Amino acid sequence: MNKIGRKFLVNDNDKDLHTQFGYFKKEDIKKAKSGIKVVSNTGKKFTVFDSSFIDLYKRIKRGAQIIPLKDIGLIVSETAINNKSVVVDAGSGSGALACFLANIAKEVISYEIREDFVKIVEHNIGYLGLKNVKVRNKNIYDGIDEKNVDLVVLDLPEPWKAAESAKNALKVGGFLISYSPSIPQIMDFVNTIRKHEDFVYLKTSEIIEREWEIDERKVRPRSQAIGHSGFISFARKI
Ligand SMILES: C[S@@+](CC[C@H](N)C(=O)[O-])C[C@H]1O[C@@H](n2cnc3c(N)ncnc32)[C@H](O)[C@@H]1O
């Protein structure tokens, strides 16, 4: 793997590695060990290091729109899931959230209604080398097979329809989170949760990340930024 300014290149194919600063032959890449510097055919210096989960995660296959890292950050910090946690996620989409959570939790079971997306998720699980994620090709509104789970995360069009399934699957004190891009979805989800005697509604938040460009004395917010992604609503089963 090599760094070009802000970019890191992952070489996971048995091919020569071509970059805008020259190329490396596959035989030379295979011999390269983590920590050493290598020089491309045009004389540019690269540092080789072993890729970590995040390097591979950023290259997963995409079918459905994936949840951004800034939003995953809030889900993880508000629930404090750890290596004892069992998590249910739906819909899997590209499996981005399911795979990220599986890198932290004991087990993730992901529900996806579309067979073509299930295949993408299975590919991504294999690519990331995860052994603790299962994908179920099922409609989550019809129920969740698992019981006593610590967290149910919903990223699908009508999350309020999964409230009963989530209630039956969650342990008391477990978290129910819904991630939705638009206001009518949060309204219907929160109103359903507020009326439900087995849930306590906690809050809804939107995370706005503003990255800054720092180049000598040119210090300012980056001109291209992520706009709106989604609202995150939190509840707990009682
Ligand atoms: C926006 S994507 C989820 C993206 C995912 N969180 C990620 O980070 O990759 C929404 C997914 O929900 C799936 N879906 C919609 N309704 C569903 C249902 N009732 N049960 C299971 N999956 C459903 C869709 O097919 C789609 O793949």
Residue 142 three-state SS: helix
Whether residue 72 contacts residue 100, with contact meaning beta carbons closer than 8 Å, is answered with yes
Per-residue model confidence (pLDDT) at position 5: 56
pTM of the model: 0.93
pLDDT score at 34:
87
pLDDT tens, position by position, 26-45: 888 888 888 888 888 899 88
Whole-number Å distance, alpha carbon 17 to ligand 1 midpoint, is: 35
pLDDT at 2: 46
Tell me the fold of 56-237: Rossmann fold (3.40.50)
Question: Token pair of 167, please?
Answer: 């209630």
Give me the chain's average pLDDT, please. Answer: 93
Q: Name the class of domain 2-51.
A: alpha beta
Q: Each residue of 158-216: pLDDT tens digit?
A: 999 999 999 999 999 999 999 999 999 999 999 999 999 999 999 999 999 999 999 99
Nearest-atom number in ligand 1 for the CA of 89 is 6
Distance CA 66, CA 73 (A): 14
Q: Label the pairing between strands 149-154 and 86-90.
A: parallel
Tell me the domain boundaries of the chain: 2-51, 56-237
Which atom of ligand 1 is the closest one to the Cα of 162?
Answer: 19
